[in-house]
Amino acid sequence: DVKVTQSSRYLVKRTGEKVFLECVQDMDHENMFWYRQDPGLGLRLIYFSYDVKMKEKGDIPEGYSVSREKKERFSLILESASTNQTSMYLCASSLNLRLAGGLSDEQYFGPGTRLTVT
């Protein structure tokens, strides 16, 4: 079974703090993703990475950065936390399409980190 773990289930930070969210997957997946989930808005993609040291902006990258120094680990960084970044953050991974024959790209999610910025 694919396992995706996230460093914290709940986190409370103050406005202006730098926040690190860590995600680790154990299935040697090429692709990793960071989403935020807010009521009524669904999952919105922040950043994704298709290889070590590679990253691409998603739909809402402003105020966030990412780091992928190792294949299994993908970190999300809030440079200066703000109250509008209070949300559920979900990490996911998926197998590289090329290796999977392009047939399946389902994502496997971690349990989520509920971040509150006060």
Separation CA 48–CA 54 (nearest Å): 9
Element (H, E) at 74: strand 73-78
Q: Interface residues for another protein in 49-78 (CB under 8 A)?
A: 50, 56, 58
23 near another protein (CB under 8 A): no
Q: What are phi and psi of 58, to 5 degrees?
A: -95, -145
Among residues 7, 22, 45, 61, the one that binds another protein under rule CB under 8 A: 45
8 near another protein (CB under 8 A): no
Q: Positive or negative, the Cα torsion across 57, 69, 33, 41?
A: negative
Separation CA 106–CA 109 (nearest Å): 10
Q: How far is the CB of 7 from another protein (least distance, A)?
A: 14
105 near another protein (CB under 8 A): yes
Q: Which stretch binds another protein (CB under 8 A): 14-22, 61-69, 76-84, 87-95?
A: 87-95
Evaluate whether 29 touches 22 at the Cβ level (below 8 Å): no
> Which residues contribute to the site for another protein (CB under 8 A)?
4, 31, 35, 40-45, 48, 50, 56, 58, 90, 92, 94, 97, 103-112, 114
